[in-house]
Structure 1
Amino acid sequence: MPSRDFKRTDRVGAELRREIGTLVHAAVRDHGLPSCSVSDVEVTRDLDWATVWVTALLPAQSKEAVKALNELGGEFRRSLSRQMRLRRVPELRFKYDDSVDKGERIEHLLRQDSPQSEADGNED
């Protein structure tokens, strides 16, 4: 029997990421939420819970966006149950993904520490 490259939770997570991404995009447009997008979805092994990681265009509005998305979670779940072929759609919980912010901060720090004196010394 061939080995499976992907677990079922990975496949369900990828499908949820696509579907929830379109739902979040529509919610941002229709409900006037702060601009955000879905970066990843992690599903538990028993498929009872799905953690949806979102990033916000403006990090200052991230708490507001996550709170609004958590309030819309039930509506999203109903919509997913009609769209997806799953026996049971997982409960959704939205969390802010700060990895982009951390990456930008690290990049900023690296740019500050870049050796400017080496570039000046090579002009001889």
Structure 2
Amino acid sequence: MSFAVQEYKRTNRIGDQIKMEVADILTTKIRDPRIGFVTVTSVEVSDDLKHAKIFVTVQKDQDAKQAFMGLRKATGFVRAELSRRLQIRRVPEVAFLPDESTEKISHILDLLDRIEKEKR
């Protein structure tokens, strides 16, 4: 009897750790009112560990443009804070990007609802 062992890449582990730490940094350390309430949804780390894309969603009633301006301004602070918290030699360059997957899912669900209503 053999079990398939799924490989869990180091980049995925570091991405998960960065996700948790950045979420904590944004809620406890950042004081920029432009950022407001953002949610870190996922992190993609490059294979060479030099870059990390941090995907975030902004609360609907917030100005997303202002939030991302605040996040861009806080990038250096976030990276410095990550260097204190992570046990890795070199902390990746971070970039905050909008996570549009929730909007796409919502759009698909709306389309499915319309199809269902048209069938009736």
TM range (shorter): 0.7 to 0.9
Task: Mark the CA change 1:78 to 1:35 in structure 2 (over 3 Å): closer, same or farther.
Answer: same
How many residues align? The count is 115
Query: Which consecutive residues of structure 1, in runs of 5 or more, have no partner in the other structure?
Result: 119-124
The equivalent position to 2:52 in structure 1, one of 47, 50, 53, is 50
The equivalent position to 2:43 in structure 1, one of 36, 41, 44, is 41
Shift of 1:59: 7.4
Query: Which consecutive residues of structure 2, in runs of 5 or more, have no partner in the other structure?
Result: none
Shift of 1:104: 1.0
TM-score by length of 2: 0.83
The equivalent position to 1:82 in structure 2, one of 81, 84, 87, is 84
Task: Mark the CA change 1:58 to 1:27 in structure 2 (over 3 Å): closer, same or farther.
Answer: farther
- Superposition misfits of 4+ residues, deviation over 6 angstroms: none
* Residue in 1 that maps onto 2:32: 31
TM-score by length of 1: 0.81
Larger RCO: 1 or 2 (CA < 8 Å, sep 6+)? 2
1:15-50 deviation digits (Å, cap 9, x = unpaired): 00110111122356x322232110000011111110
1:41-65 deviation digits (Å, cap 9, x = unpaired): 0011111110000011117622322
The structure where helix makes up a greater share of residues is: 1
**Alignment map for 1:1-124 (pairs within 5 Å):** 5-26=7-28, 30-32=31-33, 33-58=35-60, 61-115=63-117, 118=120
Whole-angstrom CA distance in 2 between matches of 1:95 and 1:59: 18
Percent identical pairs in the alignment equals 30
Shift of 1:74: 0.4
